[in-house]
A and B are shown apart, each in its own frame.
Chain A
């Protein structure tokens, strides 16, 4: 008898059948669509793999190639420019190592074990210091390479990491000031946030890169790269502050009242009750904000930095390789994809993991 109450177990075939071939119209649509997908896939595989040229320095072969396959030769010949930009050739191992260090620090800080200020802070301080010493040199017998010569992937990673690291604490401070009990602080902060959010990122970047040196006294300006990072961080912070504030607003008032009634002071309430829950509530938009920030780093090309994007264009921009622009963009796109995709997968994992305590 008990068997009767179990839901019938669908076989693979019957599932396929009920989903895609239930009626005659479904069948026709499914077949047409499957044919189309197969054709696109087949063409893609043919272009990207079967008919493609992989060997380095094979530009001539590519050009004469009648099959019309991809010329990955441009990547295998000039990948160093994409990854390292103008960084001196003999020193490029340093740039590569710096990237690896930063990626490792990034991955480590995704592990729950590091989720406390006591572990996170030293990790990033050490990670950043190692990155900087490797890239910039001038110590330990490493020759000096100034920021103007940084480029490619390591520059992109540096801008992204710097922006998040500076922007996130700033965002928290902005969000807290915006809900201050003193109305004039809250209003001023709201005005600042809304103003910056209503400006295009490009104008902020120009302001920090080009206008600021005229305004600030000499010796205050720092390298253009750091000014740009500060500009990015400010922009990031204003958006993220609103996201955090949204997360805080979705907390029931009773949470803070209970914390007050237990005698917890302001910073304890914020640090242990309000922010952890606000971040949980705001996780999806926060991951989204990071994804946007990764992609926005490529705007620095406009003020003369050679991030991955610009380096890619430069690598395929010579007369010898300019027929292979698409291949280069595909390669750069793949690099971005790896970062952005792992970010959003990590976000999904976090949502599942943090969901446990909620219910």
Chain B
């Protein structure tokens, strides 16, 4: 078996004295799609933010695409280039146009020619179906459009892995599907994806594996059919009954 895309072993994370992640062991294969769910405060965001060092873990190992995540800044930058991230609040750069948002990192961090970076950016903006907005500023777009730009911006770095942290929770209901459609397309092309989301329809359709977290631990994981239809753990059952009744 080849090296997994992400390997996390015996990882612990503390915020001061608060034990936020407890003994996390997780391997995600290349091309695998993993959905992480769990109640608020269970550590889902913290887990995926540890993968690209937006948060620092205190014990255990994290290896991303063969690169160990340690204090070596070159390794951190390498991992961040290989793992794109999409945030709940989009976090587009408001002082740059959509196109500039998409070109910035390829030009600066990958040292790609501007003209080439522009071509790539336009290609991805077409993929997320908003090429006509390329010269607008983020503030002029709707939430759904902004999130699609954020996805395009991450894809422009040609990452091997995409991390999503609740990409649809800040969106109005009518905009959720346009973002999920883009994510489904991405999954069908074989991208390695780790998504924190409560969109269970998306999880059923796309995920190879669903992971349930509570209190900083991985409680249960399994294929979507088994996970949703036949959960083993009491807390999983409780959680699933709550989000279904919503």
Complex: A356 Cα to B109 Cα, angstroms: 27
- Is there an interface contact between B77 and A262, defined as CB atoms closer than 8 Å? no
Distance from A146 Cβ to chain B, minimum over Cβ atoms (Å): 46
Does chain A have a CB within 8 A of B105? yes
Contacts of B87 in A (CB 8 A): 254, 257-258, 261
- Is there an interface contact between A258 and B81, defined as CB atoms closer than 8 Å? no
Distance from B49 Cβ to chain A, minimum over Cβ atoms (Å): 8
Total A-B Cβ pairs within 8 A: 78
List A residues 317-359 near B (Cβ within 8 Å).
Answer: 354, 356-359
Does chain A have a CB within 8 A of B84? yes
Contacts of A119 in B (CB 8 A): none
Contact with A along B89-122 (1 / 0, CB 8 A): 1011111100000001100111000000000000
Of all chain B residues, the one with the shortest Cβ separation from A268 is B108
Distance from B64 Cβ to chain A, minimum over Cβ atoms (Å): 12
Does chain A have a CB within 8 A of B139? yes
- Is there an interface contact between A265 and B137, defined as CB atoms closer than 8 Å? no
- Is there an interface contact between A277 and B95, defined as CB atoms closer than 8 Å? yes
Distance from A268 Cβ to chain B, minimum over Cβ atoms (Å): 5
- Is there an interface contact between B109 and A264, defined as CB atoms closer than 8 Å? yes
Tell me whether A261 and B85 are in contact in the complex, defined as CB-CB below 8 angstroms, given that A357-B94, A357-B95, A358-B95 are known contacts.
yes
Complex: A159 Cα to B105 Cα, angstroms: 40
- Is there an interface contact between B80 and A263, defined as CB atoms closer than 8 Å? yes
Of all chain B residues, the one with the shortest Cβ separation from A251 is B94
- Is there an interface contact between B80 and A277, defined as CB atoms closer than 8 Å? no
Of all chain A residues, the one with the shortest Cβ separation from B78 is A263
Contacts of A276 in B (CB 8 A): 95
- Is there an interface contact between A359 and B140, defined as CB atoms closer than 8 Å? yes
Distance from B198 Cβ to chain A, minimum over Cβ atoms (Å): 20
Distance from A261 Cβ to chain B, minimum over Cβ atoms (Å): 4
Does chain B have a CB within 8 A of A42? no
Does chain B have a CB within 8 A of A115? no
Of all chain A residues, the one with the shortest Cβ separation from B54 is A257
- Is there an interface contact between B154 and A262, defined as CB atoms closer than 8 Å? yes
Does chain B have a CB within 8 A of A272? yes
Complex: A257 Cα to B52 Cα, angstroms: 10
Interface centre among A263, A272, A280, A356 (most CB of B within 10 A): A263
Contact with B along A273-312 (1 / 0, CB 8 A): 1001100100000000000000000000000000000000
Does chain A have a CB within 8 A of B153? yes
- Is there an interface contact between B104 and A262, defined as CB atoms closer than 8 Å? yes
Chain B: residues with Cβ within 8 Å of the partner, total of 31
- Identify which of B54, B92, B105, B150 contacts A264 (C-beta below 8 A): B105
Of all chain B residues, the one with the shortest Cβ separation from A271 is B108
- Is there an interface contact between B91 and A263, defined as CB atoms closer than 8 Å? no
- Identify which of A263, A268, A277, A356 contacts B157 (C-beta below 8 A): A263
Of all chain B residues, the one with the shortest Cβ separation from A273 is B93
List B residues 124-143 near A (Cβ within 8 Å).
Answer: 137, 139-140
Of all chain B residues, the one with the shortest Cβ separation from A267 is B108
Distance from B151 Cβ to chain A, minimum over Cβ atoms (Å): 12
Complex: A254 Cα to B45 Cα, angstroms: 13
- Is there an interface contact between A272 and B94, defined as CB atoms closer than 8 Å? no
Does chain B have a CB within 8 A of A260? yes
Contacts of A262 in B (CB 8 A): 80-81, 84, 104-105, 109, 153-154, 157
Contacts of A358 in B (CB 8 A): 94-95, 137, 139
Does chain B have a CB within 8 A of A76? no
Contact with B along A243-262 (1 / 0, CB 8 A): 00000000010110111111
- Is there an interface contact between A261 and B93, defined as CB atoms closer than 8 Å? no
Tell me whether A263 and B77 are in contact in the complex, defined as CB-CB below 8 angstroms, given that A268-B108, A272-B104, A277-B94 are known contacts.
yes
List B residues 27-73 near A (Cβ within 8 Å).
Answer: 52-54, 73
Of all chain B residues, the one with the shortest Cβ separation from A266 is B73
Contacts of A280 in B (CB 8 A): 95
Complex: A280 Cα to B137 Cα, angstroms: 15
Contacts of B139 in A (CB 8 A): 357-359
Known: A263-B105, A264-B105. 13 other contacts (CB 8 A): A257-B54, A258-B92, A261-B52, A261-B80, A262-B157, A263-B78, A265-B73, A265-B109, A272-B104, A276-B95, A354-B95, A358-B137, A359-B139
8 contacts between A and B (CB under 8 A): A254-B89, A259-B93, A261-B80, A261-B84, A262-B105, A263-B78, A265-B73, A265-B109
Interface set of B (CB-CB < 8 Å, partner A):
52-54, 73, 77-78, 80-81, 83-85, 87, 89, 91-96, 104-105, 108-110, 137, 139-140, 150, 153-154, 157
Q: Which 10 A-B pairs have the closest CB atoms?
A: A359-B139, A258-B91, A263-B81, A262-B105, A261-B85, A254-B91, A263-B80, A263-B109, A268-B108, A357-B137
